[in-house]
Amino acid sequence: MIKKNAYWFCPKCGFKESIWNKYYWRCPRCGNPLDIEYEKIFEPRGNRFLRYSSYYPFKPIKTRGEGGTPLIIDNDGRHKLLYKLEYLNPSGSFKDRGTLLSITYAYLMNYKSVVEDTSGNTGISVALYSRVYGLEATIVMPSYAPSGKKKLVKILGGKIIETPTRTDASKIVLQYVKNSYYVAHIWNYLYIIGASTISFEIFEEYGVPDYIVIPVGSGGLFLGIVHGFEYLKNIGVINKVPVPIAVQGYSVQPLYEKIYGVKKPGEESDLADGILVASPPRINDLVYYLKKYRGKIVLVGNSDIREAQKELFQKGFMVEPTSATVYAAYTKIKEELPPSDIVLVLTGSGLKTLN
Ligand SMILES: Cc1ncc(COP(=O)(O)O)c(C=O)c1O
Ligand SMILES: [Zn+2]
C-alpha cells in the first residue's frame, strides 16, 4: 500500500515534489529540512509498528518486530513513572521505527545501496534493515563510537568508515551519496513519522501522561513524539499534549543556547554519545514546540549519567548512557514538579555499550 499523493515539502521556500518522483535528503532549493505532505489517518489495526500503517505514506513490507514496546509503571513517591522500553526494539533502539520506514522507501525507490553517518545506533539499525531488504550499507562513524556498536554494524554486513569526529562523518558521507540512498536520519522526516508511533502506543495503552522526558540529539525523537500527541489532539482523540521535557548534555547543548543565548556551564557529558549533535537541522522547530507546550530543558553531565545508569540497571532496565540521561534529568527536577504521571523514554540498549 502506497499513498500516491505524498510530497516532499519545504516549509521555508515552498518547494514541493512527489516523493515517488525523486528522493531528496534536504530541500534542493534552499537546503532546509523537508517535511512530507500526505493524508495521515489514525485507524489502529493489527500489532506493533504495522498497527499504525494507515498513518504512514506507505506500508512497510518486511518487518522484524518493531514497536509495541512495553510501558512499565512504577510509583516513585509523589510521581507515577512510566518507563517506555524503546531499547527493546529489534536493533536495540527506537531508531528502528524510523529506519524501517526509511529503508522501505529506499527499497521502493529501487536503490541498491545506502549510506549513513551516525554516532552508533542508527548505524546498527540501518545495517539491520539494509540486510533485511537486501541493500548494501556503508556507515560513516566517528572512531570514538562504542566498540560494541561498531562490531554490530560489521556483523550485520555493514561497511564502516571511521572518522575523527562526528562532524567529519557528516562531511565525508557526502562523497558516497551519489549513487546511494543517503539515510540522513537527522534530516529525514520519515524518522519523525516513525517516532510519532511511540505517542500512539502510550495513548492506546495508558492515555495522556502529564510529562514526557525525551533525550534530544537531532530532535527527531522529540519532534516525532510531540507531533504524535498533537495529531491525536487535532483529530479530537485527546484533549491535551503532555509537557515535553528535553534533555541534553552540558558538552553539546544547542537547544539551551538557542533559547537562552548562552551556554550553561557544567561538567562534560560525552558519555551520552547519542545526543552529541552540535547543529540539529530542525532546531527552530524544537524551540517552537518546546515553547508551544511550555516544555523545559534540563542539562546533565557525566556523573549524573553514571549514577542514573547505575540506578536504572538496579531497577532492571539495561540501558545505555544516552538513555540514562532521562532518568538523570528526572532526578534533577522531580521535586519541582507537582504530583504527576511522567513518561521516561528509555531509548537505547546497554548491551551494546558493555565492553
Ligand atoms: C540512545 C539514543 N537516545 C536518544 C537519541 C536522540 O535522538 P534524536 O537524534 O532523534 O534526537 C539517540 C540518537 O542517536 C540515541 O542513540
Ligand atoms: Zn526550501
> Does one domain contain both 224 and 284?
yes
Domain tally, the chain? 2
Cell of 290: 518546546
Please indicate, yes or no, if residue 182 is contained in any of the structural domains. no
- Whether residue 121 is contained in a domain is answered as no
Q: Is residue 145 part of a domain?
A: no
- Give the chain's mean pLDDT: 96
Residue 252's contacts (CB-CB under 8 Å, 6 or more residues apart) are 269, 275, 276, 277, 278
Are residues 326 and 261 both part of a single domain?
yes
Whether the CB of 130 sits within 6 Å of ligand 1: no
From the CB of residue 196, how many other CB atoms can be counted at a distance below 10 Å? 25
Residue 213 sits in the same domain as residue 274: yes
Supply the DSSP symbol for 20.
T
Note whether residue 167 is domain-resident.
no
**For ligand 1, is residue 217 a contact (CB within 6 Å)?**
yes
Distance CA 244, CA 62 (A): 32
Domain check: are 298 and 340 in the same one?
yes
Cα separation, 187 vs 183, whole angstroms: 9
Q: Decide: 127 and 158 in contact? Cβ < 8 Å.
A: yes
**Same domain, yes or no: 205 and 260:** yes
* Same domain, yes or no: 15 and 79: no
Tell me: do 332 and 246 sit in the same domain.
Answer: yes
Residues in the chain: 355
Cβ of 216 less than 6 Å from ligand 1: yes
Interval 122-135 mean pLDDT: 97
Whether residue 327 sits in one domain with residue 276: yes
Q: Is 80 left (phi over 0), alpha (psi -120 to 50) or beta?
A: beta
Residue type, 122: T
Residue spans of beta strands (DSSP E) within 78-191: 79-85, 113-117, 136-142, 159-163, 181-182
> Does 332 share its domain with 291?
yes
Residue 276: give its domain's CATH number: 3.40.50.1100
pLDDT grade, residue 79 (50/70/90)? very high
80-116: pLDDT as tens digits: 999 999 999 999 999 999 999 999 999 999 999 999 9
261-269: list long-range contacts, CB under 8 Å, 24+ apart. Answer: 264/299, 266/299, 266/301, 267/301, 267/302, 267/303, 268/301, 268/302, 269/299, 269/300, 269/301, 269/302, 269/305, 269/325
- pLDDT band (50, 70, 90) for residue 319: very high
**Cβ(125)–Cβ(182) below 8 Å:** no
In b/e form, how buried is each residue of 102-129, taking b as 16+ CB within 10 angstroms? bbbbbbeeebeebbbbbbbbbbbbbbbb
**What's the 214 CA to ligand 1 centre distance in angstroms?**
9
Kindly state whether residue 259 falls inside one of the protein's structural domains.
Answer: yes
Residue 3 belongs to domain spanning: 1-39
* Gap from CA of 13 to ligand 2 centroid (Å): 4
Same domain, 214 and 258: yes
Residue 137, helix vs strand vs coil: strand
Res 147 pLDDT > 90:
no
Grouping H, G, I as helix, E, B as strand and the rest as coil, residue 247 is strand
Q: Is residue 119's pLDDT more than 80?
A: no
Residues 30 and 79 placed together within one structural domain of the fold: no
329 inside domain: yes
Domain assignment present for residue 171? The answer is no
Residue 220 Cβ contacting ligand 1 at under 6 Å: yes
pLDDT digits (tens, 9 = 90+) for 152-172: 999 999 999 999 988 888 899
pLDDT(120) > 90: no
pLDDT value, residue 294: 98
Tell me, yes or no, whether 86 and 15 share the same domain.
no
Residue 179 lies in a domain: no
Query: With 70 as the cut, is the pLDDT of residue 355 above it?
Result: no
| Centre of ligand 2 from the C-alpha of residue 28, in Å | 7
Determine how β-strand 136-142 pairs with β-strand 113-117. Answer: parallel
